[in-house]
Structures are given as C-alpha cells and as structure tokens.
Amino acid sequence: MADVERDVLNVDWLPAFADRERREISREQNIELPGPLDMVVIGIAGLASVALVMLGLWKFVELVA
C-alpha cells in the first residue's frame, strides 16, 4: 500500500499518459487527405449506387402496377 501512495504522491505515471496521447494526436495529423482522383472515384460510385436504387424502384413500380 505504501508503494501505491508513493507513486500517487510522486505522480511518476502522469507524463507517460501525456506522451502517449501526444503521440496519438501527431499520428492522426499525419493522415493523408484524399486527392482529386479519389474524390472523383467516390463521386462516380455514389452516382452508380443511386442509379441502381432508382432502377430497382422503377422495376418494383412496374411489377406492382
């Protein structure tokens, strides 16, 4: 119990947590942003998915009507 009290009073463990959090933040800032080509691919994929949904709805309406 005396060891725990000594560690808490000395606060030796607090800088280790601060260093770990600082490393995580700097690692997150090094993430690369998507380029223009990536955005074009994402946009085309989004339009294709919307087109498939609309085709499915059209065929469903044809089937029901």
Domain ranges of the chain: 1-31, 34-65
Kindly report, residue by residue over 22-61, the tens digit of the pLDDT. Answer: 777 666 666 777 889 999 999 999 999 999 999 999 999 9
Q: For the whole model, what pTM was predicted?
A: 0.49
Under the banding of pLDDT at 50, 70 and 90, the label for residue 13 is low
Q: Is pLDDT larger for residue 2 or for residue 22?
A: 22
Give Cβ neighbours of residue 42 (< 8 Å, ≥ 6 apart): 34
